[in-house]
Chain A
Amino acid sequence: MADVKQVTLTIEGRPVVVPEGTSILEAAKTAGILIPHYCYHPGLPVAGVCRMCLVEVEKFPKLAPACATAVGEGQVVHVHSPKALEARKGVLEFLLINHPLDCPICDQAGECELQDYTFQEGRADSRYLEPKRFNPVEDFGGDVLYVTNRCILCTRCVRFMDKVAQEPVLNVSERGDRATIGIHPEADLGGHAWSGNVIDLCPVGALVSKDFLNKARAWELDRTASVCPNCTQGCNSILETRDDTVVRMRPRANEAVNQYFLCDQGRLDYRWLERRDRAELPYVRAQTARGGTELAATDWDVALREAAALLNGRRARVLASPMLSNEALGLLARVVARTGGTGVFTVRTGDEAPLVGVPDLALRADRAANVIGAELLGFERREIGAVLDGLGADDVLVVADEELAGLAPTLPAGVRVLVVGTTVPTWAAGADVVLPITNMAEEEGTFTNLRGRVQRFLQAKAAHGLARPSWYVLGDLLAAMGDGEGYFTAADAFAALAAAQPSFAGLSYDALGLRGLPVADAERFAAEPALAGAA
């Protein structure tokens, strides 16, 4: 941006050039220097209440809070000068006066900023001999538990509810050392679809998740960059696993999509990734000794050969799940094209719940990750009751990870069924071949969100049973049908998709990175200005 004036200053001896109006704290970040802070958060208005970010600026009469001081031309900032360190040490000592030493039982331990900064710059001991203030734990409703004693009154949660959620139900009650975060007597954080973010915003263990309470320690978790699969918004997320089990989902910052936030629906709906009633092995229908038939476990080569034989000469009706990745849907579209069939999908819907303070961010009505991807790749969206309409008696129904929850359709007689999915739905138990695939936590792939942004998610845990990634299975299936040779990596599968589909042209895993890029014709998915303004 040429019209914004650039300011040059020196922070810790390093020259920094930032646009005018940037805070010293943000300017220091660009130079790789972290100025300790509690109340400041890039997604919230600046409050300047914690005094933790005090730094020494030459020619200033006293120390300045880095979060609330704008950069000036030629400023010289000292973050670790004796004077600044002494001030921050004092702030930390005051914060710890009433903070309980219950780190061993505190869920925040290991990812607690109070722990980190005390370790870096605080005193090794306390000079406070009087008994500490005590307040009971309070239930704020929803997923949020308020442990009053641990609170350092940074007011991040208050500002989130005021300015971002715009439902001002939290405040700072009382004064002086009796001050705590208070909630409106008739309010309940459970009433707001985005209130769970106060848990992530809390720099200490004062606001903790009931869902995650006492489940794991922060240092035991493996973190994987992912994308929330629960609606078309495609919020960037982090899947946290412990012993190969997903235990928590948290937001991952992406200015273009969700900033720093993730809705409660998204953060709590991860348990389906741990379903135990999964399809574990490839199955084919075989004769039993009594003369009937049953699904018998087999190996991958046989199952793929049988599946290809099943599709040979028949039209495929692909019932795809909008939770599948672009790669899988692209390959299914090729199955449809080869057999002259049709591809359909259906989407579970719910109420839209916008986060008012952030433009174009909401829990969307379409509760599936890749609705736009499915539409781009030529799948037809239908009502749940109409997905099987027009299914001919000689067709093959390819059930691609779709369970049609709440519906048990009766299939027309003579229809052959191929299940490519994480589960075998009861209504599809008469399948001829079952090819087990991994769910989104167990494979790599991309989703296209409602603004046409293609975003990658990475593999967080090991596959269940003999299941293979969807792009791998479908690539092999196409190879068995005589189309291509399958793919070794998800990146290869995506490259093939990018080469074949004009919407994805020019995209690759390297180019997408972890923040994603819009598809070539993304303009048609842009938010309507009126709606964007209201949201």
Chain B
Amino acid sequence: MAINVKVLDRPVEQVSYVRATLKGMAQTFKHLVNREKRHQVTIQYPEQKWDLSPRWRGTHRMLTTETGKAKCVACGLCPTVCPANCIKLVPGEDEQGNRYPLVFEIDEFRCIFCGYCQEVCPEEAIHVGRHYENAEYSRDGMVYDLERLMAQTHPVSDLWDPADPKGE
């Protein structure tokens, strides 16, 4: 039995590729001659870098007090809220009887950069950073311990506008 193929009789303007090709070439030519800044998409990385949004959420940074200690009090809220279970925290007690993190590790591989840890932190200690250059030679290198989190210097994310925290 022969297969019935329905052949549609379309106008030649719709089926010819010549017209579409010319249209595309025209767009390319327009970009070639028009060097206005707003059309430039490619940047010369790493000499040039992106301007990150103030709400960019990158790898973490632990802020410190004036005396150079981590602000963290090991309250356990960030490991609780973390949807990826990437924060390991063991609380301890220092000589003055203050609560502090004995172990604080973030597995940046497992992190999904939701920023909940920064949002939940009552001490404004842990922050997600406005930072994206995180290449490492080993997987272990992506597990940041407390020392490394404190040593980070990149700017931190503003998850909300301090003047208008509820977004009203």
B156: chain A residues within 8 A (beta carbon): none
Contact B93 A213 (CB under 8 A): yes
B122: chain A residues within 8 A (beta carbon): 103-104
Contact A105 B75 (CB under 8 A): yes
**Max count, chain A CB within 10 A of own CB: residue among B80, B93, B99, B123:** B99
Complexed CA–CA distance, A59 and B122 (Å)? 46
Complexed CA–CA distance, A232 and B92 (Å)? 35
Complexed CA–CA distance, A137 and B93 (Å)? 15
Does B74 sit at the interface, judged by CB under 8 A?
yes
Does A217 sit at the interface, judged by CB under 8 A?
yes
Q: Contact residue range for chain B?
A: 10 to 19
Contact B92 A214 (CB under 8 A): yes
Contact A217 B75 (CB under 8 A): yes
Identity of the chain A residue whose Cβ is nearest the Cβ of B99 in the assembled complex: A105
Contact B80 A109 (CB under 8 A): no
Does B159 sit at the interface, judged by CB under 8 A?
no
Partner of A214, one of B77, B99, B123: B99
Does A485 sit at the interface, judged by CB under 8 A?
no
Does A215 sit at the interface, judged by CB under 8 A?
yes
Chain A min CB distance to B63 (Å):
15
Interface string of B68-81 (1 = CB under 8 A from A): 00000111110010
A109: chain B residues within 8 A (beta carbon): 75
Does A219 sit at the interface, judged by CB under 8 A?
yes
B74: chain A residues within 8 A (beta carbon): 105, 214
Contact A220 B76 (CB under 8 A): yes
Interface string of A195-230 (1 = CB under 8 A from B): 000000000000000000111110110000000000
Interface size on A, residues (CB 8 A): 12
Q: Which parts of B42-68 form the interface with A (CB within 8 Å)?
A: none
Chain B min CB distance to A394 (Å):
54
**Max count, chain A CB within 10 A of own CB: residue among B76, B80, B97:** B76
A214: chain B residues within 8 A (beta carbon): 74, 91-93, 99
Complexed CA–CA distance, A219 and B120 (Å)? 15
Chain B min CB distance to A248 (Å):
14
Identity of the chain B residue whose Cβ is nearest the Cβ of A102 in the assembled complex: B73
Contact B80 A104 (CB under 8 A): no
Contact B93 A105 (CB under 8 A): no
Interface string of B1-41 (1 = CB under 8 A from A): 00000000000000000000000000000000000000000
Contact A105 B80 (CB under 8 A): no
B75: chain A residues within 8 A (beta carbon): 103-105, 109, 217
Complexed CA–CA distance, A214 and B92 (Å)? 6
A217: chain B residues within 8 A (beta carbon): 75-76, 80
B77: chain A residues within 8 A (beta carbon): 104
Complexed CA–CA distance, A153 and B73 (Å)? 27
Chain B min CB distance to A44 (Å):
30
Complexed CA–CA distance, A103 and B123 (Å)? 11
Complexed CA–CA distance, A103 and B121 (Å)? 12
Contact B91 A215 (CB under 8 A): yes
Identity of the chain A residue whose Cβ is nearest the Cβ of B72 in the assembled complex: A104
B80: chain A residues within 8 A (beta carbon): 217, 219-220
Q: Which parts of A101-160 form the interface with B (CB within 8 Å)?
A: 103-105, 109, 137
B97: chain A residues within 8 A (beta carbon): 137
A103: chain B residues within 8 A (beta carbon): 75, 122
B92: chain A residues within 8 A (beta carbon): 214
Chain A min CB distance to B69 (Å):
14
Identity of the chain A residue whose Cβ is nearest the Cβ of B80 in the assembled complex: A219
Chain A min CB distance to B157 (Å):
21
Complexed CA–CA distance, A172 and B33 (Å)? 86
A215: chain B residues within 8 A (beta carbon): 91
Chain A min CB distance to B98 (Å):
8
Chain B min CB distance to A455 (Å):
33
Complexed CA–CA distance, A214 and B77 (Å)? 14
Contact B73 A104 (CB under 8 A): yes
A219: chain B residues within 8 A (beta carbon): 76, 80
A104: chain B residues within 8 A (beta carbon): 73, 75, 77, 122-123
Chain A min CB distance to B102 (Å):
9
Chain A min CB distance to B38 (Å):
46
Identity of the chain A residue whose Cβ is nearest the Cβ of B98 in the assembled complex: A105
Complexed CA–CA distance, A105 and B76 (Å)? 9
B99: chain A residues within 8 A (beta carbon): 105, 214
Chain A min CB distance to B87 (Å):
13
Identity of the chain B residue whose Cβ is nearest the Cβ of A104 in the assembled complex: B75
Complexed CA–CA distance, A219 and B122 (Å)? 17
A213: chain B residues within 8 A (beta carbon): 93
Identity of the chain B residue whose Cβ is nearest the Cβ of A218 in the assembled complex: B76
B93: chain A residues within 8 A (beta carbon): 213-214
Interface string of A65-94 (1 = CB under 8 A from B): 000000000000000000000000000000
Identity of the chain A residue whose Cβ is nearest the Cβ of B93 in the assembled complex: A214
Complexed CA–CA distance, A420 and B39 (Å)? 80
Complexed CA–CA distance, A104 and B99 (Å)? 10
Complexed CA–CA distance, A103 and B75 (Å)? 8
Complexed CA–CA distance, A220 and B82 (Å)? 13
B76: chain A residues within 8 A (beta carbon): 217, 219-220
**Max count, chain B CB within 10 A of own CB: residue among A103, A104, A217, A220:** A104
Chain B min CB distance to A342 (Å):
49
Chain A min CB distance to B104 (Å):
14
A220: chain B residues within 8 A (beta carbon): 76, 80
Complexed CA–CA distance, A215 and B93 (Å)? 9
Complexed CA–CA distance, A105 and B101 (Å)? 11
Complexed CA–CA distance, A104 and B98 (Å)? 12
Interface string of B122-140 (1 = CB under 8 A from A): 1100000000000000000
In the complex, 17 of the A-B residue pairs with CB atoms within 8 angstroms, ordered by the A residue number, are A103-B122, A104-B73, A104-B75, A104-B77, A104-B122, A105-B74, A109-B75, A137-B97, A213-B93, A214-B92, A214-B99, A215-B91, A216-B91, A217-B75, A217-B76, A220-B76, A220-B80
Closest A-B pairs by Cβ, 4 of them: A104-B75, A217-B76, A105-B99, A104-B122
Given contacts A105-B74, A215-B91, 5 further A-B contacts (CB under 8 A): A105-B75, A105-B99, A214-B92, A217-B80, A219-B76
